[in-house]
Amino acid sequence: MNYFRYKQFNKDVITVAVGYYLRYALSYRDISEILRERGVNVHHSTVYRWVQEYAPILYQIWKKKHKKLITNGVLMRRTSK
């Protein structure tokens, strides 16, 4: 499914902005400033809306890629024999 359809900015810009927020715990204004240094002029409220919209989606994608076996509340890694 194309989550970035009909957006003004490229999906790479949106993904990088949300990734900065989630990984480094930067403020929306800091992320806006970092993107502006890279030539993308984005208002901090736009970054806020992106985080609200795409953080849950990116989390679900990450969760699918990093599955772990959960048994009785204990995390166990899959092992192959």
| β strands within the chain, DSSP E | 69-71, 74-76
Check residue 8 and give its pLDDT. 80
In a domain? residue 41: yes
- Structural domain that includes position 65: 11-76
In a domain? residue 2: no
In a domain? residue 44: yes
pTM: 0.73
In a domain? residue 81: no
In a domain? residue 48: yes
In a domain? residue 3: no
In a domain? residue 37: yes
Mean pLDDT of the chain: 84
In Å, how far from its chain's centre is CA 74?
27
pLDDT in tens, 3-31: 777 778 888 999 999 999 999 989 999 99
Q: How confident is the model at residue 33 (pLDDT cuts 50, 70, 90)?
A: very high
Contacts of 50 (CB under 8 A, 6+ apart): 14, 17, 18
Q: In total, how many domains does the chain have?
A: 1
Better-scored residue on pLDDT, 1 or 55: 55
In a domain? residue 4: no
